[in-house]
Amino acid sequence: MTLDAPAVARRALPLLDLTDLSETCSEAAVETLCEAARASAVAAVCVWPRYVSRSARLLTGSPVRVATVINFPEGGTGIARAVADTAEALRDGAHEIDLVLPYRAYLDGETETARAMVAAVRAACGDRLLKVILETGTLASPETIAGASRLAIRAGADFIKTSTGKSPVSATPEAAEAMLIAIRDHAGDRPGAGERPLGLKVSGGLRSVADAAGYLALADRIMGPAWASPQTFRLGASSLRDALVAVLPGAEAAR
């Protein structure tokens, strides 16, 4: 089947979490990121905590949300630190928190540590959105990914997210499939189920229109073609926006 690249781009851009978590990120880079986010009407920007307040100011009056990362990228076990960092980010204007699950502890059988961190940060978030990063490239097997997905869901995640983008293996279709099945089958297991939907964020290594098309097709197959929206499905990437805009007709790309 021929890829309808403009149609994929129109569908994917509103789902994009435009990201700069590079070691060389600067205030100038964040300004450029926020300008691009406004121009393309993406779902959110995702920045280091030190850039949250600046991003919030730059995006004042825009529907683009500000996300930041906590316990990133190491996925340590310090719950008090994660809660304190979350509270500070929310005070600075973050709308969404992307928390790294203590994935190594989870792999070592310390599931209560992992659950307790998600639950504590969930409580600190209040009504703000919590995405839990599983680091699926390290969890590796679909069974382990599914188990971590269920743990995060039951501890109160609003989204489960594949990857930090800092590990040797980032998002894969196999990991995303295991997570979507967990969402489909266990959305009702989380606290407050039904108050707002449970979603998936695919992050790490997404660069092309074909990448976006593949993950959208996967979501359509498992969850149904009407499911993917900014409230349920995000694509986290730094360079994907340029690839999507490049295939749009001139007037659309210039917006």
CA trace torsion 75, 191, 18, 34 (10° rounding): -110
Residues involved in catalysis: 98, 161, 201
pLDDT value at position 255?
63
The answer to whether the CB of 219 falls within 8 A of the CB of 233 is yes
The pLDDT tens digits for 61-105 are: 999 999 999 999 999 999 999 999 999 999 999 999 999 999 999
pLDDT in tens, 150-185: 999 999 999 999 999 999 999 999 999 999 999 999
Extract the tokens encoding 168: 């040797």
pTM over 0.95: yes
Q: Does 49 sit behind a cis peptide bond, omega within 30 degrees of 0 on the bond before it?
A: no
pLDDT of residue 158: 97
Q: From its phi and psi, is residue 117 left (phi > 0), alpha (psi between -120 and 50) or beta?
A: alpha
Is the sign of the CA dihedral 86, 87, 90, 95 positive or negative? Answer: positive
- Give residue limits of the domains in the chain: 5-253
In this structure, whether the domain defined by 5-253 belongs to CATH 3.20.20.70 is answered with: yes
Higher confidence at residue 32 or residue 251? Answer: 32
